[in-house]
Structure 1
Amino acid sequence: MNPETLPDDGDHGADQGAWALVRASQAGDMDAFSLLFDRYYDVVFRYVLFRMGDRILAEDITQETFLRALRRISSVNYQGKDIGAWFVTIARNLIFDHVKSSRYRLETTTAEMVEISPPTGGPEQQVLDGATNDELLRCVRKLNPDQQQCIELRFLQGLSVAETARIMDRNEGAVKALQHRAVRRLAQLLPEGLR
């Protein structure tokens, strides 16, 4: 479907606003693309950070995501989804490319993940929080890819069920069911003391 002929019925206000920015960007309005960048940067960054576990690398990949999006903005068409799903898809492809490259070493740093939440105590508590975080991320990585993405979007990025459904191209009921199964599976995977 051509983005100039967006349907008015069935669109959410936020989706219409985002696609209006896409149309303006396609017409050469760089301020509109800047607004898209501001709106979706955090979603893309958190997605990449969770996957890569390295804050600096996540910033680089997120920046490259938006550079590619800017170069390809004229090719994107409305498909009934939030434009954020397109940005996340670009980021996912960049992550795959990076992982396949010889520069990527199979080590994961999770210290940056602890920085997302404020410190709750002294050094002993920080060590315990870090170990808990490491174990939780290890268990999340044992989930199937759909469950991983659902947990990441809902809990690490803090997206609503509706936002998660749009990005995953599912209905809200399916996301709720997927989240329920993922949380139940995580409870089975976590060691007794962390449940």
Structure 2
Amino acid sequence: MSMPIAVAAGSAPGALGKAKQQATQADSTVAENWELVRAAQRGDTAAFATLYNRHVDSVFRYVLLRVGDRHLAEDVTSETFLRALRRITSISYQGRDVGAWFTTIARNIVFDHVKSSRFRLEIVTDEVAEPGTGPGTAPGPEQQVISRTTNDELLRCIADLGDDQRECIILRFIQGYSVSETAAIMQRNEGAVKALQHRAVRRLAKLLPRSIR
């Protein structure tokens, strides 16, 4: 399958300007989030409440895609922020948004659930945002492939991926995390994540309906 990579003539400056603006806004949001973390570490409960409001939907979406059950996803999301509140004084800025830290906590709770019970992934298609609406960078060729699908089609295909490939796709293209953030969450190096992403997208390309390839 060929992936569109060319930018139409005359549109590149506007696209580059928009990408730069998005990057600046993302950097500003990351800085604001870490200011809130530092305030929460000083005991400001309102600051943690703001962090919760900013990230709860993203964490819930990630968990829902992993466990496929709304009630369980709600429980895991609640436990995620309870653990985060208990551990807020232990974290410091490491070059990525605090949202990646919340997602890492959620991921560990999901793993605990998987190990302690019989578990089968069931993709739930409602309550899941459109692909690529997370805090990541401007769409690249792989994002374009994913963005051309509908939620239902995409999520059905993701369900057929292996565990690691599925999580990589969720983190990179649905949650919108960068390669470095995804690597930190998955506890892998960036090269491994890039290779996993490449294999996952190739696999998705084969699974997607022929009409949207």
TM beyond 0.5: yes
The gaps in structure 2 that reach 5 residues or longer are: 1-25, 131-149
Q: Tell me if 1:24 matches 2:39.
A: yes
Structure 2 counterparts to residues 61-100 of structure 1, below 5 A: 61-100=76-115
Output the CA distance in 2 between the equivalents of 1:23 and 1:130.
37
- C-alpha RMSD of the superposition: 3.4
Q: Tell me if 1:165 matches 2:179.
A: yes
CA distance 1:75–1:32, shift in 2 (3 Å): same
CA distance 1:20–1:114, shift in 2 (3 Å): closer
Q: Which shows bigger deviation, 56-65 or 73-82? A: 73-82
Structure 2 counterparts to residues 115-194 of structure 1, below 5 A: 116=128, 132=153, 135-140=156-161, 142=162, 145=164, 147-157=165-175, 159=176, 163-169=177-183, 179-189=197-207
| Aligned residue type for 1:139 | D
Q: Tell me if 1:107 matches 2:125.
A: no
CA distance 1:22–1:117, shift in 2 (3 Å): closer
Where 1:28 maps in the other structure, the secondary structure is coil
* TM-score between both structures, scaled by the size of structure 1: 0.68
The gaps in structure 1 that reach 5 residues or longer are: 1-10, 119-128
Output the CA distance in 1 between the equivalents of 2:54 and 2:206.
36
Output the CA distance in 1 between the equivalents of 2:155 and 2:34.
38
CA distance 1:15–1:172, shift in 2 (3 Å): farther
Q: Does the aligned pair in 2 maintain the 1:84–1:167 contact within 8 Å?
A: no
Identity over aligned pairs, percent? 53
Output the CA distance in 2 between the equivalents of 1:100 and 1:164.
28
What do residues 123-151 of structure 1 show as CA deviations (whole Å, max 9, x unaligned)?
Answer: xxxxxx998567413323x2x61x32332
Number of equivalences: 165
Q: Does the aligned pair in 2 maintain the 1:150–1:164 contact within 8 Å?
A: no
The equivalent residue for 2:30 is 15
| Aligned residue type for 2:69 | D
